[in-house]
A and B are shown apart, each in its own frame.
Chain A
Amino acid sequence: MLISNTSNRRSFLLGAAATAGMATLPTASFALTTAGAEKLINALTADIFKVINSGKKGPALYKEFNRIFNRYAAVSAIARTTLGPPWRSATNDQKEAYVQAFGGYLSRKYGKRFREFIGAEIKVLSAKSVKRGVLVKSNVKLKGKSPFVVEWQVFDRGNNPQMFDLYIEGISMIKTEREEIGSLFDRSGGKMDKFIARLKNAG
């Protein structure tokens, strides 16, 4: 391949496929299968429940969450997409610091609510190929509450399926965090270092 950067090449291919009106083409040409995506989500949720049921709490629990997050999710793609345009003007060091702070922030934020997930049940229902990866549909039942739908967007990063976004009753983690992260960035006067420092304590 002439273009060495994987993500550039892929976005080019995606664009080309879409232009040609062959939105289903990526399914055939990429390694990511619906079965592979389902497997990823099953492994991811099994790990989460293992940690929740381990009895760990506080920072020890957040650390475990962060480990799972880094293992199964495309943390840097998620962090970049959530931040949007300010990403472009950041230095490489800032980018790295931000991605790391972002992982910690999400782990704390979701880790704090782990109690809600004790005794929960999750069932993967189906998976379908879409333009931007595979959408895995699951049903989650928390103790004493009505069941709700969680959809997981999985994409292929160089033959390595990774979780990108999740949608709880249609509410996207990335879109929702974009509001939070955007407000935090604005409140930091649009200054990257100040924003990263604040993010390290947020969540």
Chain B
Amino acid sequence: MFFNKPPRIGYTLKAAGLVATAIMLSACTQPVSKSAFNDPYEPQNRKVHAFNKGLDRALVGPTAKGYGFITPPVLVNMVDNVAGYLGLPGQAVNNILQNDAKGLGQTVLTFTLNTLTFGLGDLATNAGVPDNNADFGQTLDVWGFRQGIYHEVPVLGPSTERDTIGFIVDTALNPTSLVVPAGVSTGFSVLDRLGDRNEFSDVIEETLYESEDSYATARSLYLQNRNFKLNNGVNEDSLEDPFADF
């Protein structure tokens, strides 16, 4: 394994450095939330949303459909598997940083089983090994960092301060890049995203083009799903109250 003790400390230090920088950068934000969400920059975010929507309509959506149309499903599946496989070392690092032995066991087992297929297949999921999807945004959550403001990132879409920092750290410090050129990993994850855009086109298009307010819907869906993942299930305190009085 390429993450023994020394790299782990190095990783932690580097991660801490990046986090510190990002926090200093975001220190100028002054949350003045009007909605139920921490979204003080809603007007700016809506502009980014309009841009992302235009990008999806003109480029990403059609490209994803083209990709899904010309590529045999078996191959799309393999690309998904490889992209997931290349993410496993980073996932393992996050399991360690979160002190999550069970998660680490799942990740290592997934890596071991899928290595038998050179990463092209997903024996682990077929064998029922749970997918824990640990990322650095989640690690920051475990470490007690707050979620911060919601924002929509150009091209990448909905996120929060904490998740964006997490994404940057995961991308910059991906241990896979020690073995595989970063461009290869990025290529696979772009294709993986196109595959997802195609596979879930019904629900994505319903959200973007058919909902009353696609910005608000996307924000709500993102935050709900993200909190579900951070919490490993629905947070009981966030359940709606059937007897609520207005």
Contacts and interface: CB of A to CB of B under 8 A. Distances in A.
Given A145-B199, A179-B212, A164 B240 contact: yes
A178 B242 CA distance: 14
B246 A84 contact: yes
Contacts of A85: 246
B38 interface: no
Interface stretch (B19-27, B61-69, B224-232): B224-232
Contacts of A187: 212
Contacts of B238: 172
B228 A81 contact: no
A180 B125 CA distance: 35
A170 B217 contact: no
Interface stretch (A6-14, A39-47, A50-58): A6-14
Instruction: Among B216, B217, B242, B244, find the residue whose CB has the most chain A CB atoms closer than 10 A.
Output: B242
A102 interface: no
A128 to B, nearest CB: 9
B112 to A, nearest CB: 21
A151 to B, nearest CB: 5
A48 to B, nearest CB: 18
Interface residues of B, number: 29
A160 interface: no
Given A131-B239, A132-B239, A183-B213, A167 B234 contact: yes
Nearest to A6: B243
A146 B240 CA distance: 27
B12 interface: no
B9 interface: no
A157 B211 CA distance: 32
A27 to B, nearest CB: 13
B233 interface: yes
Interface in A99-120: 113, 116
Contacts of A149: 233
Given A171-B225, A183-B212, A14 B243 contact: yes
B220 A175 contact: yes
A77 interface: yes
B68 to A, nearest CB: 12
B217 A180 contact: yes
Contacts of B242: 74, 77, 81, 132-133, 153, 155, 157, 164
A116 B202 contact: yes
B13 interface: no
A174 B240 CA distance: 8
Interface in A136-168: 137, 145-146, 149, 151, 153, 155, 157, 164-165, 167
B236 A131 contact: yes
Interface string B128-142: 000000000000000
A180 B214 CA distance: 9
A135 B216 CA distance: 27
9 contacts: A74-B242, A85-B246, A132-B240, A132-B241, A170-B228, A170-B234, A171-B225, A174-B240, A179-B212
Given A10-B243, A81-B244, 18 more contacts: A7-B243, A8-B243, A11-B241, A80-B246, A85-B246, A113-B202, A116-B202, A132-B236, A133-B242, A135-B239, A157-B242, A164-B240, A169-B225, A170-B231, A175-B240, A179-B220, A180-B211, A183-B211
